Amino acid sequence: MLLLALDTATPAVTVALHDGSSVVSESSQVDARRHGELLLPAVDRVLADAGLRLDAVTGIVVGVGPGPYTGLRVGLMTADTFGLALGVPVHGVCTLDGLAYASGIESGPFVVATDARRKEVYWARYDDVRTRVGEPAVDRPADIAAEVAGLPAVGAGALLYPDTFPDARAPEHVSAAALAALAAERLAAGEELLEPRPLYLRRPDAQVPKNYKVVTPK
């Protein structure tokens, strides 16, 4: 097994190789505006560091979000392209699950929250680092304060809103190394992973204005 994992659902552009037992190489850069520019060089870098070629990869792992539309689609389109070109499966993993797995919190419950912009967070609650409770959601921090009160919280969204998440902890952003390790563990256990489809939770920021009139030539 050699998994190529990548995620662009947060400001981190993160890539890793995992051989089924451990991480072989990894790269992470935080730049919310350069996902498309940074992702492929990061893939080249982790392959070069490992002394491997792309055709050695036996599977692709990609973070499916939730995340902002523009950044998230960069990773998913790249993963789909690699999968088609190499003829290997593409496995989706919830980005919040990757953060939970990397948190190192020994016992739950706890919360993972990433920045959803618009003064909102993408979030989910976990019983432990492998077990999410319910589906991810997007909300204003003040609206979920009662639900998360007293719980440790991981992620950039938690760090942004200390009034709601007073016990905020690292990591701030997801790492592809954690995604790959979680995916490898689930695959080894015979579990089915997610389809590589984006988990947006809301409409894109760019929308056609209301009352927009389409003008077509006669």
Residues 6+ apart with CB under 8 A from 130: 100, 101, 182, 185
Q: What is the DSSP letter of 194?
A: B
Residues 7-46: tens digit of each pLDDT = 999 999 999 999 999 999 999 999 989 999 999 999 999 9
List of E strands, 64-200 = 90-93, 110-117, 120-128, 131-139, 153-154, 168-169
C-beta of residue 66 within 8 angstroms of C-beta of residue 200: yes
- Residues in Cβ contact with 163 at an 8 Å cutoff, skipping those fewer than 6 apart: 141, 142, 145
* pTM: predicted TM-score of the whole model, two decimal places: 0.90
pLDDT at residue 112 tops 60: yes
